[in-house]
Structures are given as structure tokens and as C-alpha cells.
Structure 1
Amino acid sequence: MLIRDTTEGYGVVSRLFHWLMAIAIIAMFALGLWMVRLDYYSPYYNSAPDVHRSVGMLLLFALLVRWIWRAANVKPSDRELSPLEQKASNAVHWGFYVLLFALMASGYLISTAGGEPISVFGWFSVPSIFQMHGLESRAGYVHRILSYATIALAVVHAGAALKHHYLDKSPVLTRMWSGPPPIESLVQEKENRQ
């Protein structure tokens, strides 16, 4: 099991980041939809937003670590994609990074506009960097739009991965699911091409 990425596929760290963040982002979207409909008398009225904020801050940290990890690793080859698909893939991946960062930053602003820090599951607090009353409603509007845009991009991303896997018979999805192929199969593939 390879830790780092290779030109043939993603290592275990990149794959764990990808799948755990994907699950967490979808769960956060569902939690956000559910919690904004809670009324004051719900037993989850305070705890659901606390969980949402805490997971959001952990996701922000994970996103930053993921950027560093991506910069420190080679990018797996996308030679099986057409030039247009390669450009689209690159745009989608960087679009995710920008959207996720903006989504988490707007969530941070919603929670800290009043000057209060964010307690992350009681383990530590993320301080408010400035106090600006009224910012929370504007940041909330941006947060909602960005959350829908993120889910829409995730649907496009998943659809493209499934298209490549089932229609094109491409290894794109396999590389993110099971990582690089074993060295033996790479050697065999190289010999078959010669």
C-alpha cells in the first residue's frame, strides 16, 4: 500500500482525504439543510449548529493539509483523458478548492461576526479575528449559495467519474478507489505495449 501519490495513481493519504472529506461535506450539507428548519423548542436547536461549526473548522484544517499534501506529491497521469477533459478536470478540482475554502470562510464569518470564538467540540477554540455585527446575515447568504454550488459541482464530478469508469472503461475512478496498480501489472502493461 503506497502512502504517496505516483504518476499511476493516488496513495492512501490522498484517497483517505478525498473520500472522508466527500462524506463529511455531503453530511454537512444535509445537516445544514436540517438544522435551519429547527425551531427554538427542538432539543437540537443549539447542538446541531455546534456540531456543524466544529466539523466545519476541522474540514477547513483538513483542506489546508490536503493542499499541502497535493503540492508535495506528483499528480497522477491523466493521459486517458482528452485535452478538453484534462482542462475540465483541472478546473473542477481547483474549483472545489476555491469553493470549499470560501464556503468554510463564510461559515467562520457567520459564527464569529459577533466577536465570539468557535469552540471545536470543546477541544480548542478558533478565535474571532474581528467583530462586525450584521455580517452574519450576509455571510449566511453567501454560505448557502456556496453550499449549493459545492454540491452541484460534486454531482458533476461524480457523474464524470462514473462516465469515465463505465462508458470509457478508464481507470480514473479505480485510481481514486484502490490506488496505483501493483508494480507487476505496470511492468506487464509496459511489456504488452512493446
Structure 2
Amino acid sequence: MQKYSITMRLLHWSTALLVFGLFGVGLWMRNLGYYDPLYQVLPYWHKSVGFLLAGLVAVRLLSRWWLAQPGPLASHQPWERRLAHAMHWLLYGLLLGLFASGYLIATADNRPASFFGWFDIPALFTAFENQEDVAGLVHEVCAWSLIGLVALHALAALKHHWLDRDHTLKRML
């Protein structure tokens, strides 16, 4: 059994942890009132961790390109291979949609967004009308879609492990 490299496994599980954490915090933030003490705190951390995740995903994509990846198992059907390939690129596409829309929300007022207070990520262009609302809708749709596809991704891994009894899941553990 050929496993994924430790680098790819760490990137995979770090990405998963951050995605679930950001999704949970995002849901929590939606219900905060203006006078709630976390009203300013949670968005600050959500943005910073979101930018961190964007960097992590960029490293992950570069690692996929540079590092050898194990091929599909011989027991996988051609349709499973095509579906897995499409699923992975859909997950990356939704993450990129989240990053772009999150950036547009964070810079909608033409001010830079802080990255953990260490440095600012500049607003690169003038805001368009209703930028925060439009980007917020895109962000929400991408977030829910991502969580749905992640659930399918996890179910597929469990199907391979429990029903097919192959090493698909074990290669990422």
C-alpha cells in the first residue's frame, strides 16, 4: 500500500480541521448582535484563519504538483476515478470561491484586512456597489456547498474502507 506523504497528510487534515472550524465560527457569527462582545472578535479571527487556510491550500496545490502522489488503487472502477478527480477539483474550486468572496467581504470598505495583526492584506481595487452583500451571498453558497461535498467525500472514504475494504482511507491516515 502506497501512502500519501506525511506532508500531504498533514495538509489534508489541517485543511479539514480549519474548514470545519471556520464553518462553525461563520455560523456562530451570523447570530451575534451588535453589542455582543464577540461581534468584532470572531470576524477578525475568521478572516485571519481564512487567509491562513488560503495559504495552506496554495501550498497544498503546489505540493500536489511537485510531490509524487499515489495513483488510484487497481480495484477502483474508471467511473470512481473520474468522480474522485472531479470531486477533488470541485472542493478546490469551492475553496477558491470562498477565499475570493471572503477577501471581497473583508475589503468591501476599501480598507485592508489584517492577518493576525502581523500585516495587512491590501484592498486591491475599488469596491463595487453592494460588494459586501454580493460577496456574502457567494461566500455562504460556497460554504454550504463545500460542507456538502466534504460530507460526500468522507462518506466515499468510509465506503471504500468498510464496504470495499480497500486501502483508500488508510493511505491518508
Q: Does the pair score TM above 0.5?
A: yes
Give the conservation status (yes or no) of the 8 Å contact 1:112–1:131: no
Greater C-alpha radius of gyration: 1
**Separation of aligned partners in 2, 1:12 and 1:93:** 19
**2:47 aligned partner:** 53
Q: Which moved more, 1:114-123 or 1:152-161?
A: 114-123
Give the conservation status (yes or no) of the 8 Å contact 1:9–1:77: no
Segments of 5+ residues of structure 2 without an aligned counterpart are: none
Give the conservation status (yes or no) of the 8 Å contact 1:113–1:130: no
**2:88 aligned partner:** 93
Shift, 1:32, TM fit: 0.2
State how 1:21-170 maps to structure 2 within 5 Å.
Answer: 21-78=15-72, 79-132=74-127, 133-170=129-166
Measured on the aligned residues, the alpha-carbon RMSD in Å equals 1.1
**Separation of aligned partners in 1, 2:75 and 2:34:** 53
Alignment deviations for residues 47-78 of structure 1 (CA, whole Å, 9 cap, x no partner): 00000000001111111111111000222121
What SS does structure 1 have at the residue aligned with 2:120? strand
Structure 1 segments, 4+ long, off by >3 Å, are none
Q: Which amino acid aligns with 2:122?
A: P
Percent identity at matched positions?
42
Give the conservation status (yes or no) of the 8 Å contact 1:106–1:143: yes
Question: TM-score, structure 2 length as denominator?
Answer: 0.96
Give the conservation status (yes or no) of the 8 Å contact 1:39–1:45: yes
**Separation of aligned partners in 1, 2:43 and 2:132:** 14
What SS does structure 2 have at the residue aligned with 1:119? strand
Q: Which amino acid aligns with 2:35?
A: Y
Shift, 1:169, TM fit: 0.5
**Separation of aligned partners in 2, 1:161 and 1:125:** 39
Shift, 1:171, TM fit: 0.2
Question: TM-score, structure 1 length as denominator?
Answer: 0.86
Shift, 1:17, TM fit: 0.4
Alignment deviations for residues 85-115 of structure 1 (CA, whole Å, 9 cap, x no partner): 0001000111111110111110000110211
Q: Which amino acid aligns with 1:147?
A: A
Give the conservation status (yes or no) of the 8 Å contact 1:29–1:147: yes
